[in-house]
Amino acid sequence: MSGNNFTVSPAPHIRSGLSTRAIMYLVILALLPSGVAGIYIYGFSSLRVILISMISCVVFEAAFLKLRNRDPKIALDGSALLTGLLLAYNLPPEMPFWLPVVGGAVSIILAKQIFGGLGHNIFNPALVGRVFLQISWPVYMTTWKNPRWAVDAVSTATPLAKEGAPLFNYMDLFLGNHGGCIGEVCILALAVGAVFLLVMKIISWHIPFTFIGTVMLLTWIFGGDSMFSGDFTFHLLSGGLVLGAFFMATDYVTRPLTKKGKIIFGIGCGIMTVVIRLRGSYPEGVSYAILFMNAVVPLIDRYTKTRKYGLQK
């Protein structure tokens, strides 16, 4: 198992010292820089969205666990908090207070608890919540706020909305100086968290790097006016690609188990993202791509299942 002790994979297993709870809180820790950046860039309203989202997720989790005759204290295992945090990171910084509450309810109840709670959900709960909100209230979900450095009061579109594209330079995109969702704008902060997770071996390189690599390759080939002239750096730095690839596609429950499976999963996510970004009617495709590939995970797992230890094929 190449010393990668914290990866869920088929037997044989090496017992690690890390509990689910510890992993969850480490991921939350890794996400913190991005949240701080989001609050710094868009101001106090981002913090409000983050807090409402996290609190409502934990409350709904506890309530539903109680309804299922489970111990409501399980809600504090960090998974609901993480879902709430990821959901908030996928929301614009300013919105009516009830929107994150509804998002939290959908994420926890519809995407997670109905399937049987942590470990049984097919789809990434935070993304289900986000997509629900995106389809239901497109207006609120695309009302962006200006970053603190913006001079003019004209609200900026997200870079991926095609007309807005030329306004941004790479440095702005890298630091998060543009309209966008709370946790996806500052690539620098996300990169810090991602490196932390990789170093701690909580996530492996397979999914994020194949995902991002596929997106960059395909946008380079097809993204421009002619073949092989697409602006792949722009596609890497804008939208939720980095957040999605490192923090959401790698969700333990909804990703494939084997290395081969993860690579297939990452490439699939990349292809779907590019197809939606370049040809779809939505400007951003990361969340749909990950959800789509979540649905395929059981199939991937079946065809990439490793041989049981000591068993002849």
Partner 1 sequence: MKDILRFVLVLFLVNLVAAFILAGVYFITKPKIDEQEALAREEALTQVMPASVGDRLEAVEENGEVKYWKAFKGSSNKIAGYVFVAKKYGYSSVIETMVGVKAGGTITGVKVLNQNETPGLGAKIVEIVSDRTLASAIKGIFLREKKIEKKIEPYFTEQFTGRNVKDVDISNIDAITGATISSKAVVDSIKEKGLEMSNVR
Partner 2 sequence: MLRDYARTIFFERSREEHYMKKLLREFSKGIFIENPTFRLALGLCPTLAVSTSVVNGFGMGMAATFVLVGSNIIVSCVRKFIPSKIRIPCFIVIIATFVTIVELTMKAYFPLLSKSLGIFVPLIVVNCIVLGRAEAFASKHSVANSVFDGLGMGAGFTLALVVISAIREALGNGTFLGLTILKGFDPALLFILAPGALLVIGILIGAVNYFTEKQHGA
The contact set with partner 2 (CB under 8 A) reads 96, 102, 110, 132, 135-138, 140
Task: State which residue, 94 or 172, has the beta carbon closest to partner 1.
Answer: 94
Task: Give which of 282, 160, 180, 279 is closest to 231, Cα–Cα.
Answer: 160
Nearer to partner 2, 137 or 220 (CB): 137
Residue placing its CB nearer to partner 1 in the complex, 96 or 138: 138
Decide: is 281 part of the binding site for partner 1 (CB under 8 A): yes
134 or 146, CB closer to partner 1?
A: 134
Q: Which is nearer to partner 2, 56 or 177 (CB)?
A: 56
The answer to the question of residue 116 lying near partner 1 (CB under 8 A) is no
Task: Give whichever of 139 and 151 is closer to partner 1, judged by the CB atom.
Answer: 139
Contact predicate 231/219, CB 8 Å: yes
Q: Residue 102 binds which entry of partner 2, partner 1, none, with Cβ cut-offs from 5 to 8 Å by kind? A: partner 2
Q: Kindly give, in sequence order, each residue whose CB lies less than 8 Å from that of residue 6, ignoring residues fewer than 6 positions away.
A: 16, 18, 23, 200, 201, 202
d(CA 123, CA 252) in angstroms, rounded, equals: 11
69 binds partner 1 (CB under 8 A): no
Identify the residue whose tokens are 């996300």. Answer: 190
C-beta neighbour count of 11 within 10 angstroms: 8
Cβ closest to partner 1, residue 2 vs residue 281: 281
Smallest distance, partner 2 to C-beta of residue 68, A = 13
Structure token digits, residue 19: 């509990």
Amino acid at 87: L
Minimum separation from the CB atom of position 288 to partner 2 (A): 12
Which has the closest alpha carbon to 154: 178, 119, 187? 178
Q: Answer yes or no whether residue 96 interacts with partner 1 by CB under 8 A.
A: no
Determine if residue 310 is left, alpha or beta; phi over 0 gives left, psi from -120 to 50 gives alpha, anything else beta: left
| Cα separation, 216 vs 231, whole angstroms | 8
Contact map string, positions 130 to 169, toward partner 1, x by CB under 8 A: --------xx------------------------------
Question: Minimum distance between the CB of residue 283 and partner 1, rounded to whole angstroms?
Answer: 12
User: In degrees, to the nearest 5, what angle opens at C-alpha 186 toward C-alphas 37 and 160?
Assistant: 135
Tell the smallest beta-carbon distance from residue 72 to partner 2 (Å): 21
Q: How crowded is residue 135: how many other Cβ atoms within 10 Å of its Cβ?
A: 10
d(CA 93, CA 196) in angstroms, rounded, equals: 25
Q: Report the distance separating Cα 263 and Cα 301, nearest Å.
A: 12
110 interacts with, out of partner 1, partner 2, none, CB within 5 to 8 A per kind: partner 2
Which is closer to partner 1, CB of 143 or CB of 233? 143
* Spatial distance between the Cα atoms of 107 and 123, rounded to a whole number of angstroms: 10
Selection from partner 2, partner 1, none that 281 binds (CB < 5 to 8 A by kind) is partner 1
279 is a site residue for partner 1 (CB under 8 A): no
Contact present, 256 and 304 (Cβ < 8 Å) = yes
Q: Which among partner 1, partner 2, none contacts residue 40 (Cβ within 5 to 8 A by kind)?
A: none
CB of 131 to partner 1, least distance (A): 15
Residues making contact with partner 1 (CB under 8 A): 138-139, 281
